[in-house]
Amino acid sequence: MNIHYIQHVPYEGLGHIETWAAAHGHHLTGTCFFDESWRLPELAAIDALIILGGPMSVFDETPYTWLVEEKEFIKAAIERGTKILGICLGAQLLANVLGAAVKPAPNKEIGWFPVVATDEAKALPWFYELFSDGPKVFHWHADKFEIPYGAVNLASSEANKNQAFAIGNQVLALQFHVETLLADVEHLLENARTDVVPGNYVQDEAALLGDPAHTGSRRLSDDLLTCFFR
């Protein structure tokens, strides 16, 4: 497939997605909004879209004027039937475009914490199977989304109940990260260390880098990406 990704900041990149795409023979192209020469593709030229994370809010259209054009592009991709995976900010942008509220979460989540599939996730059997046992995944967010009308609420965590949603087999939104590798955590710390303040669901730096959950993230990432994009 021709998979296009949208990247918002240099330090929140593809992670394991790049390795997975190469292993499966998919072609990756990208729009990097931090690059002054950014451009969005023609939708007819791509088979699927991945929207990555970022530190900004979905409502920060004044400092990040490209958000307006990005939302229009996402809406057009949904209407066209393009396969879309949104991660963290990408998931919040999908919720916003689909008319659901995005607002501060009751708990900031930074670290490796479990997410568990909901009963509703049985409508997407492969997702339910992957998350029914509550695998640890990586979180770095302070906002949350409500579930859009017509979407299936797929997963929850102890800190925040809305962690993922899907619309059929076309749209998948993840508040958490499955693509994050240890090097990606290091890059986040280098660029956003001030986010790591004490909290019930905020790990300290040693735990962020030393939690053994990161060793299993590649397998979970492989399985999720393969199931969703098959």
Q: Does residue 32 have an active-site annotation?
A: no
Question: Is 177 annotated in the active site?
Answer: yes
Which position among 16, 177, 187, 214 bears the catalytic label? 177
Q: What are phi and psi for residue 147, nearest 5 degrees?
A: -80, 125
Find the catalytic residue in 12, 70, 109, 179.
179
Cβ neighbours, 10 Å, residue 187 = 18
**Residue 214: active-site member:** no
For the chain, strand residue ranges (E) read 2-7, 27-32, 48-51, 83-87, 102-114, 116-117, 136-145, 152-156, 164-167, 171-174
Number of other residues whose CB lies within 10 A of the CB of residue 133: 9
- The neighbouring-strand residues paired with 144 are 103
The active-site residue out of 4, 12, 16, 88 is 88
Q: Of 157, 166, 158, 169, which is closest to residue 131 (Cα–Cα)?
A: 157
Judge whether 141 and 105 are in contact, CB under 8 Å.
yes
DSSP bridge partners of 153? 165
Structure tokens at 99: 């008319």
CA distance 97 to 43: 17
Residues annotated catalytic, as ranges? 88, 177, 179
